[in-house]
Amino acid sequence: MTQPEAKVLPKSPLPSEDGKLNLRRWGDFYRAIINNDEGTVGVVVRILRANFRDHRKGYMISFLFLFIVAAMTSLSAWIMRDVVNQIFVAQSVEMLWILSFGVMAIFIVKGFATYGQVVVQSRIGNRIVAENQKRFYDRCLRFGLDFYNDRASSELIMSISGGSNAIRSILDTIVLSLGRDLVTLLGLIFVMVYQAPLMSIIALLVAPIAIISVSKLVKRIRAIAKQEFASSTQIISIIQETVQGAKIVKAFGLSDHMRTRMVTAVSSVEQRANKVSQLQARTSPLMESLGGISIGLVILYAGWATISAGKTPGEFMSFITALLLAYEPAKRLARLNVGIAESLAPVRALFNILDHPPSVTETDDQPPLQLTRGKIELIDVGFGYRPVDKVLSGINLSVDHGQRLALVGPSGGGKSTILSLVQRFYDVQEGSVRVDDQDIRTVSVGSLRHHIAFVSQDVFLFSGTVRDNIRIGRLDATDEEVEAAAVDAFADGFIRNLPKGYDSHVGENGVQLSGGQRQRLAIARAILKNAPILLLDEATSALDSESERMIQIALDKLVEGRTTIVIAHRLATILSADKIAVIERGHVVEVGTHPELVRMGGVYEKLYRYQFDEGRAEMAIA
């Protein structure tokens, strides 16, 4: 995954040589930290900017409930003074009833406020996860094939799932820390200081020690969390490979190899998760020890003051209650940065995708293609998937309305790349591709692809039914039109023999169908789309001779009146093409009709003779 270029922070705003502070430098330094998307503060600020603003009303309600919870917690500590002094010391019956029902009311209000806050916060969190996942997927749809060629699907899955939930986790942590823990702690500190100022000073002396100790854990947790995210991505990748490559795994006896890879990846995640848990857990003995020392000293002083100095126990009981109640929110606040640091790795991965610029080939802000005839021209086209690796060079080809251009030649010559350029999956680096004299870079890519039907040799089927996969060709098609397209593609016969006919599920990527069946469904899609431009990339490569003969009849009918470019390995299927271009090593080496090319005695003639002799040998053997 490509990492963004690191940002350089301005010079630290330390005093100058004359001892004066540079306020402008302080401002620059502060803004740089806030806007540094790689730093913890920058990431958190970005999360708040992107998510908090749209849900501020819900968060205000959540904060209101949290403030009520914090107030009730502080009040429960405050009331302990009167409980001890009025009930146990003064033994007032009237106050016994009042204070008892008062305590009940405090905790009932606290319970309902907690319930309200959890419900509101959960709904906001679920909405934020959904919004970020939608935003992520929408961004992915705006990337071209070059983006997906450089990334594993497991990386994207982990980013959309882990990143969205991590954003929710960070926001929940911040809201709960500020709205509940911080307010509760401040309220309890107020009770402590009001009831016993001297003991409050003793108790609060341990806070700086806790803050310094916890801050040292954050950097280590951040590094480990990043490694854990990468290992989790590898687990998903292995599972995908096992499912999608099940036949290869079984055929080559790779079960032990795949098991070893999975064990290594899972063990790596387990070890790092244990390490993170261990580092997080270090805050507990630290806080427990410091809290125990603080409470012990307070009890020692309170006991001495009550026994020897004649103080009433109510104030000390209220103070100790507040001190004990302050322990949990103080511990959570101490671990705030630790928890956020653990969630930053998946958030950064999600932000890297959201920040990646959309592909130029997927922008749809140009005027629509004005299709009149459907003539396609490639003029001096040069292209390479990498700058130093030229796939096509000086390609000049044209095919007019109603004509069929066949591309033949050795594998790796660039034939499929030409079809990709016509659909603008990639932009040419030299020359131009034109449809009806319009450079396809100057028209809406959506309108261009709307006029093209494409059948690839690598057929992809979506999870769903046979009917759903054919309807991909035209989403508003009726069931009758879907079935008619299947009949024309000679697919209706095998479809009706499936357990549920057209409503049978094809499995992941059509795993429950044969290669020939999948290819016939792809051809049915193209027939259903009824586009004026037809691109066929080895459309009959997965069919047996009988099926190929039937499909060829369907294709001959389909190409009538359409501009067609077809890539064919079997030359017998393109003998009647209006024009045949031989592509070799990224160049057009021969162009003509079948009889013309045979008479040339060049590359095409050799390919044809080879296949002709091979076919005669097969017939002799049969």
In the numeric block, which tokens belong to residue 286?
Answer: 């630290």
Residue whose C-alpha is closest to residue 339's, from 280, 426, 284: 280
Long-range pairs for 100-105: beta carbons < 8 A, 24 or more residues apart: 103/76, 103/79
d(CA 134, CA 131): 5
pTM (whole model) above 0.85:
no
In the numeric block, which tokens belong to residue 142?
Answer: 């705006």
Read off the pLDDT of each residue in 76-94 and give the average, rounded to a whole number: 77
> pLDDT averaged over the chain?
79
Give the pLDDT of residue 208: 59
d(CA 311, CA 301): 11
Residue whose C-alpha is closest to residue 356's, from 136, 531, 594, 104: 136
Contact 383, 365 (CB under 8 A): no
Give the pLDDT of residue 396: 95
In the numeric block, which tokens belong to residue 518?
Answer: 């999948």
**Rounded to the nearest 10 degrees, what angle do helices 207-244 and 313-334 cross at?**
40
Read off the pLDDT of each residue in 372-388 and give the average, rounded to a whole number: 89
Read off the pLDDT of each residue in 117-146 and give the average, rounded to a whole number: 87
User: Looking at the domain covering 37-355, what would its CATH class be?
Assistant: mainly alpha
Q: Tell me yes or no: is domain 373-451+535-542+562-622 CATH 3.40.462.20.
A: no
Sorted by sequence, the CB contacts under 8 Å of residue 45 that are 6+ apart come out as 34, 35
Given a cut of 60, whether residue 16 has pLDDT beyond it is no
d(CA 471, CA 528): 7
Give the pLDDT of residue 355: 87
User: Looking at the domain covering 458-530, what would its CATH class be?
Assistant: alpha beta
Contact 323, 378 (CB under 8 A): no
Give the pLDDT of residue 542: 59
Given a cut of 50, whether residue 392 has pLDDT beyond it is yes
Chain center to CA of 402:
43
Give the pLDDT of residue 590: 92
Given a cut of 50, whether residue 148 has pLDDT beyond it is yes
Give the pLDDT of residue 36: 47
Helices (H), 538-589: 545-558
Most confident of 271-280, 347-356, 507-516, 525-534: 525-534
Give the pLDDT of residue 39: 62
Read off the pLDDT of each residue in 586-598 and give the average, rounded to a whole number: 92
SS3 407: strand
Give the pLDDT of residue 621: 40
> Which residue in this structure is represented by tokens 């606290």?
110
Domains 373-451+535-542+562-622 and 458-530 share a fold: yes
Contact 477, 471 (CB under 8 A): yes
Strands 438-439 and 430-435: antiparallel
SS3 75: helix
Which helix (H) or strand (E) element contains residue 536? strand 533-537
Which of the pair, 568 or 379, is modelled with greater confidence? 379
Give the pLDDT of residue 478: 93
Where are the chain's structural domains?
Answer: 37-355, 373-451+535-542+562-622, 458-530
d(CA 40, CA 221): 13
Residue 463 confidence class, pLDDT cut points 50, 70, 90? confident
Residue 370 confidence class, pLDDT cut points 50, 70, 90? very high
The DSSP symbol for 276 reads H
d(CA 315, CA 252): 78
Contact 229, 272 (CB under 8 A): no
Read off the pLDDT of each residue in 546-562 and give the average, rounded to a whole number: 76
